[in-house]
Structure 1
Amino acid sequence: MQWHRHTFESLPKNDLYALLRLRSDIFVVEQDCVYLDLDNHDQNSYHLYAKNTEGAVVAYVRILPPGTAYPQVSIGRVVVEKSARGKELGIELMVRAEEWAWDLFEHERDVVIMAQSYLLQWYGRLGYVAQGEEFLEDGIPHRIMIKSNK
């Protein structure tokens, strides 16, 4: 597995296409949720992704600076390609994203995510704590979760 970290400006065009395709394949097609993925946050985000030995993007996440989606730094668009699941790649993706987020924004104590409700236990094992009530985002139940860097 090869890991890549980029700003929007430094993303290679083919990688940008591949990660947007992966997001669409999972969030729109697999989850049968028609929504506008391109939300104008990608341009100001930091992008972390993994490529397999064939060079295909198989995991992706973006880190949003404080004040973009939430007052705190946040992690979003967490996605692992279907054939790459069950290998703890998602855990490695999140750990790497958290470490990079705290390196980028040293003054930030918390990382915020908007988790799909069916993944609450999975994120909980990573140290995230649910906040507030469940809500619908594009017709899918979600909860806000926070992890503190102690």
Structure 2
Amino acid sequence: MNWVVKEFNQLTNEELYEIIRLRVNVFIVEQNCPYEELDGADKKALHLFLKDEKGAMLAYSRLFLKGDYFEEASIGRVIVAQKQRSLGYGVQLLNKAISILEEEKEQKSIFIQAQSYLEKFYQSFGFYSVSESYMHDGLLHTDMRKERNKPIGGSI
């Protein structure tokens, strides 16, 4: 299993199907949160994922450079498949995403709209809250930011 990062037009049909399947299974079905999953932003995103030898998506997030989605670079749709959540893939996923944006793409800060119950998880990577909790798509969220050159850790 290897981490893969691709632009939208580089994704195979099978990869795109598995990405959408994972996102729907977690965000809409598991979290019981109907929202506009296909928001048009995937075409601008970098897609970071881990899949097994059979092609199933184990972990995924989409990454945006400054100005492509928000004023700052951002990470969104952060997911680990339900059966894989105790294997450390979430920590690996965030470390890879941050490294890609800060080191490879030289982004100075990263913005996220974190589900509020994961605030401490994101804090362990150097993110800090920049808003109070608010409802977004039926779930509590908190806006968070990470400045480049702050330590990357992730121990949760």
Partner of 1:96: 96
3-state DSSP of counterpart to 2:36: coil
Match of 2:154 in 1: none
Q: Secondary structure at the match of 1:94?
A: helix
Percent identity of equivalent pairs: 35
**Structure 2 contact 65–72 (Cα < 8 Å) conserved:** yes
Instruction: Give the aligned partner of residue 66 of structure 1.
Output: 66
Q: Deviations over 1:71-124 (max 9, x none)?
A: 110000000000110111001001101111124531x21111110000001111
Q: Which residue of 2 aligns with 1:42?
A: 42
Provide TM-score, normalisation by structure 2.
0.91
**Is contact 1:41–1:64 with CA below 8 Å preserved after alignment?**
no
Q: Which amino acid aligns with 2:84?
A: A
The amino acid of 1:30's aligned partner reads E
Q: Check conservation: 2:15, 2:55, Cα contact below 8 A.
A: no
Contact 1:73 1:105 in 2 (8 A): no
Aligned residue type for 1:149: R
CA positional deviation for 1:134: 1.1
Partner of 1:113: 112
Counterpart for residue 21 of structure 1: 21
Gap runs ≥5 in structure 2: 150-156
What's the offset of the Cα at 1:135? 1.0
Q: CA deviation at 1:125?
A: 1.1
Q: CA deviation at 1:4?
A: 1.1
Distance 2:53 2:105 in 1: 31
Aligned residue pair count: 149
Q: What 5-or-longer segments of structure 1 have no aligned partner?
A: none
How far, CA to CA, are the matches of 2:73 and 2:100 in structure 1?
11
1:73-84 equivalent positions in 2, closer than 5 A: 73-84=73-84
* Structure 2 Cα separation of the partners of residues 99 and 46 of structure 1: 13
How big is each residue's C-alpha offset from its partner over 1:44-77, in whole Å with a ceiling of 9 and x where there is no partner? 1100100124331110000012123321100000
